[in-house]
Structure 1
Amino acid sequence: MARRTVRSSTAGILIPVIGAAVIGYFVYHGLTGARGFYASQQLRAEVAELEQELADLRRERESLEQHVALLRPESLDPDMLEERARVLLNVAHPNDIVIMRGQR
């Protein structure tokens, strides 16, 4: 009968230890795994960063669309056309005051 008590006490300790190891395994991978808690936090931060970048790009696109709309033949703005021509040709109007800055 001594053998039965030794085996039953070993089984009584071994089963909870194995259960705790299995639970520990799932908790560890639930926190640090590819789809775990920390990974989801990192993905949320990345999504927020990319949404901010998307908002910035949309504002830039709207600004560019407004400039393009001013250069369309149907609604050609003479001031915008003159400004673009001066920038592209690197010239100034005779009545313009040009301030030259010294290079550092």
Structure 2
Amino acid sequence: MKSRLEAAGLSLLVLYFAYHAFAGEKGLGRWSDAQMELEDRKTELSQLETDIGRLRTDIRRLTPGSVDPDFVEAMARDKLAFVYPNEIVLITSEPSSAN
């Protein structure tokens, strides 16, 4: 009788720990979710690093003493919609890239 009770108690204990190993707060299910989130964050980090590199290049092109006049002109045309007096402006229904 005692051995059956011990076996039942041990079985319940093993089931308890097995359940929490798979479905608990820090179980395998949560681990796989964390791995997918990690991959998403790595992708986001890669995109941000690319943006940072592009912005650093733009900063170097706008640094006093080494300003790139073509870059300044392109920025003024794109962001501020500047045009020369003899140019013709066509307005389209598509949204422009100027923000």
Tell me by how many angstroms 1:97 deviates.
4.3
Between the aligned partners of 1:102 and 1:13, the Cα distance in structure 2 is 81
Tell me by how many angstroms 1:98 deviates.
2.7
Q: How many residues align?
A: 94
Name structure 2 gaps, 5 residues minimum: 95-99
Between the aligned partners of 2:56 and 2:87, the Cα distance in structure 1 is 28
Output the aligned Cα RMSD. 1.9
Counterpart residue number, 2:17: 26
Between the aligned partners of 1:102 and 1:22, the Cα distance in structure 2 is 69
Letter in 2 for 1:68: I
Counterpart residue number, 1:7: none
| SS class of match (1:53) | helix
Counterpart residue number, 1:63: 54
1:52 aligned to 23, 34, 43, which one? 43
RCO comparison, higher one (Cα < 8 Å, 6+): 2
Superposed structure 1 runs of 4+ greater than 6 Å apart: none
Counterpart residue number, 1:43: 34
Name structure 1 gaps, 5 residues minimum: 1-9
Q: Tell me the percent identity.
A: 28
**TM-score, structure 1 as length reference:** 0.77
Letter in 1 for 2:23: T
Between the aligned partners of 1:64 and 1:20, the Cα distance in structure 2 is 61
**TM-score, structure 2 as length reference:** 0.80
Q: Which has the higher helix share?
A: 1
